[in-house]
Amino acid sequence: MLIAMNNMEERVLAKNAKRNQEYYCPYCRGEVILRHGVKVIPHFAHKVKSNSPCYKAETYNHYQLKMLLAQKFAALNCNVDIEPFIKSIKQYPDLVINQSNAIEIQCSTISSAEIIERTLGLESIGLKVFWLINDVKIRGRLIELTQFQTTFINPIQRTLITWNFSESNLIVYTHIQNIARKKFICKRQPISPNELFNTYKSKQVRVYKLSKRTINNYILQCRRKNSVLEPTLSAMYQLKMNDSKVCISTGFIFLNQIYIETHPVEWQLKYLLLRRKYDSHQSCELLLPIIKFRYFAYYNYNKLTILRELVNDFEKMYYSRCLSVQNES
């Protein structure tokens, strides 16, 4: 942590703290130690490890970025509160800017449940929450995200905000769309701190069609599992579809694909299989427990509503053979 209390009950910033003085955690009141070296950014650490929420074991990069952002926002004449303890929710965000925007930096992996819980807590007291994670690798317009990283996507604005340590810059990825499990297409744009709180309007996402090569590679991966229970192969067998037919009939990427982890070829085959016996409404409800959904820090959505919109788009595409599709290269 960057803030501690002295014996006078004053909040002291680590870089201004003096050695050989006693300091205490503002939250659990446990004793903390000042760490200040040539290669270590000044910070406080709990003398005794604790299970308290204030014991975060933050990394050097975390401390460095927190302090750097605090300085950048202060230079913009913003009101900057570092690690304020919010008693009503028992949380202390990394930074609160102008008493309205909370910035949370997450350099290490934690559970989606904890991310969502912390977001909801801060939102419950009227703060708008902005999460920053380490920057991700991009090739052209393609990025690969882990399950942890996708939690920080804003699915409404279709954005992801990161910090690039080598460039020392904030990065926003816009127009994000999932095309297959971990793969997403997007646009990358460096931004200044005063642009962090902007609202990004996402353009209407076009429908994409996975290429024949991409779908064939996916089917090959399924076959390599060497299991008769493999979902995609099982659906292909029951539908009596060969590889070529699957390439033509499935692999459509619709707007709501960003909400689900299940591969588009897999869920589209399963839906077609259900439609042999049931109407679209029943098929959607039966498909619901089979689908693996994503969890987002910023948005709690109705899974059935999302899935109904998704299968409705697929029905229109599949049965009308609409050709206004952008091929994925």
How does pLDDT run across 141-194, given as a tens digit for each residue? 999 999 999 999 999 999 999 999 999 999 999 999 998 889 999 999 999 999
Residue with more model confidence, 284 or 53: 284
Q: Which of 49-58, 198-207, 294-303 has the lowest mean pLDDT?
A: 49-58
Q: Is the pLDDT of residue 206 over 90?
A: no
Q: 232: which 2 tokens?
A: 């995609």
* Number of DSSP helices (H) and strands (E) in the chain, helices first: 9, 17
Class of the domain covering 58-205: alpha beta
Question: Residue 326 — very low, low, confident or very high, per pLDDT cuts 50/70/90?
Answer: very low
Q: What is the pLDDT of residue 5?
A: 80
Question: Residue 53 — very low, low, confident or very high, per pLDDT cuts 50/70/90?
Answer: low
Question: Residue 16 — very low, low, confident or very high, per pLDDT cuts 50/70/90?
Answer: confident
Chain mean pLDDT for the chain = 89
Percent of the chain exceeding pLDDT 90 equals: 65
Domain spans of the chain, in order of start: 1-55, 58-205, 208-327
